[in-house]
Amino acid sequence: MKKNAANYFSAIAGLILLIIGLISLKVIDNPQGVMLTLPYLCVGIGCGIFGGGMGNILGERAFKKHPELKKQKEIEEKDERNVSIANQSKARAYDMMVFVFGAIMCSFALMNVELRAILLLICAYLFVIGYGVFYRFRLEKEL
């Protein structure tokens, strides 16, 4: 039941964040500074959280009527072959992302995009790379 309550909470929180973003877009006439991007961030994050919560809620309701399908899905998700395929696809996507982010950062710098946008992209890039290095060291210690 806790999982279901968390899904409802995330759907409601996402909807509230979405509404706040939309209202602030309409209400604020001449945004300055951080208020130029904050409403759009609220809308984007709110949509993502709301969509994830509602997707989980609807998925649980669909499986409530067909418990045999739910059990089959859980078996397929935990299957070693499927887990291995998912991990390999994530690893390849990560490898590609490193080069794509690097190319985008270079192209933004050459196009004279605003420095804040480039620095934000660089911070996200370094965070992802640091996260990958951290887990690599952690997994090497375990194995």
pLDDT digits (tens, 9 = 90+) for 99-121: 998 899 899 889 988 988 889 89
What are the backbone angles phi and psi of residue 115, rounded to the nearest 5°?
A: -60, -35
pLDDT of residue 14: 95
Taking a C-beta distance cutoff of 8 angstroms, is the pair 93, 103 a contact?
Answer: no
Query: pLDDT digits over 51-79, tens only?
Result: 999 999 998 888 888 888 888 888 887 88
* pTM exceeds cut of 0.75: no
φ, ψ for residue 97, nearest 5 deg:
-60, -35
pLDDT of residue 71: 84
Torsion, Cα 105 109 115 118, to 10 degrees, reads 0
Cα separation, 76 vs 123, in Å, equals 37
Instruction: Note the pLDDT of residue 134.
Output: 92
The torsion angles phi and psi of 28, rounded to 5 degrees, stand at: -80, 115
**pLDDT tens-digit readout, 78-88:** 888 888 888 89
Position 3 pLDDT exceeds 80: no
